[in-house]
A = this chain, B = another copy of it.
Amino acid sequence: MLAQVSGILLIQHGFLSTFLLSTHSTQYTLFNPEFKVLFNSYYNGIGEQFTRANRGSLSRPSLKEVIEYRTYVDKAVIELLDTDFSEKLKQIVVLGLNHEQQHQELMLMDIKYNFSVNPLFPKYDSVNSLNLNDESYLEPIKYTDFEQAIINIGTNLGTNINTLCDRKFAYDNEQPKHQVLIHPFSFANRLVTNAEYLAFINSGAYSNPQYWLSDGWANIKTNNLSHPLYWHCINDEWFEFTHYGLQPLNLNAPVCHVSYFEASAYANFTNARLPTEFEWEYAAQNYSINDAVQNQFMPSRHRESNSIEQLADACWQWTNSAYLPYPGFKPIEGVAGEYNGKFMTNQMVLRGGCVFTPQNHLRNTYRNFYYPHQAWMCSGIRLARDKV
């Protein structure tokens, strides 16, 4: 675990060391040439890889060495930018910082997963004043209607790292901006709650193939799944493992850490469906995204309003869109081009953001993506319907 956190810290700066310093600084010498292999669990283009499965057994470099390494890289980055503050270099740094923000969220996900398999259920943080177990009445989901329209999807910042603009950033997979024809649909005003998901479980849904995709049914049967990843039923009471240790299940909070298979089955159960990523982006264009509450590691209950809520401040939301290139998609040039495009099979898009996501990492056009069986990210359920 320490190894994994150290590893993530190391890999973050590996990006800057490899794609900025080694490529653009004539002065730069590697802190430790071997670190390159450790860093490279990902990029087939830059040589020998250290497989991810082995990462858990890495106990060196020590945390101390990793911090020294990061200080070393930070210093070299600043020195390089002092002598060459060109657009070109700034853009690589911006890409590197966004990359680092992704790893900040991954670190919180890994810590949660890691602690969750420990029978001691360690706490990452203390609860303080959070009201985790609110039992007040919650209104049923309301749907907002959207008419057929041709809308703009994505953004246009350019896919060449050399033309990324100064203050704005978007990944290549959000580009280019293009038109999409949307059919009439209705969009839920909030996420599905733990109470609602519990009713699904209690209906016997994990024993009833009718709600499930074929691969989803195979997945829950092969792995003996009968509830979301971090739920525990102890003496007939439901608990949820969190960064605050094991907590009684908060019935009004959004269900989180569900797989696409579970989200899709739940939607079938309620005669609804998941939105497409285009429907989601269209809804988000019309309703402001509330900032996530900082330093809190669990999504809060829905605050009643006339708006569409919980777009980015609670859980990522599974969409019914496969992760595929936009029309006209061009990967970032160079080795960093492996970043996004090569994952465009077998994964589904999630939209929004969650309580683990750095706040200024969020935007309407952002496309997150995971395999349909995965649930260790903070993923929830937004419902939609065909409008008839």
Contact = CB atoms under 8 A, between A and B. Distances in A.
A117 interface: yes
A87 interface: no
A115 B34 CA distance: 14
Interface in A38-70: 38, 44-45, 50, 54, 56-61
A115 B59 CA distance: 7
Given A342-B213, A345-B216, A346-B372, A56 B56 contact: yes
Nearest to A37: B119
A212 interface: yes
Given A38-B120, A181-B180, A327-B183, A343 B57 contact: no
B120 A327 contact: no
A2 B327 CA distance: 47
Contacts of A344: 213
A119 B10 CA distance: 14
A206 interface: no
A32 interface: yes
Interface residues of A, number: 59
A157 interface: no
A320 B324 contact: yes
A343 B37 contact: no
Contact of A44 (B50, B181, B209, B215): B209
A325 interface: yes
Tally of this chain's copies: 4
A1 interface: yes
A15 interface: no
A361 interface: no
Contacts of A316: none
Contacts of A57: 1, 56, 114, 117-118
A212 to B, nearest CB: 7
Interface in A203-252: 209-210, 212-217
A61 B214 contact: no
A34 B2 contact: no
A34 B120 contact: yes
Contacts of A346: 215, 346, 372
Contacts of A44: 209-210, 217
Contacts of A114: 57, 59
A119 B34 contact: yes
A34 B45 CA distance: 43
A106 interface: no
Given A44-B210, A213-B345, A327-B183, A118 B56 contact: no
B60 A120 contact: yes
Nearest to A1: B59
A216 B60 CA distance: 31
A2 B63 CA distance: 12
Given A1-B57, A215-B346, 4 more contacts: A58-B118, A183-B328, A320-B324, A321-B324
19 contacts: A1-B3, A3-B3, A45-B209, A56-B56, A57-B118, A58-B117, A59-B115, A59-B122, A60-B118, A150-B181, A178-B183, A183-B327, A213-B342, A214-B342, A214-B345, A215-B343, A216-B345, A322-B322, A346-B372
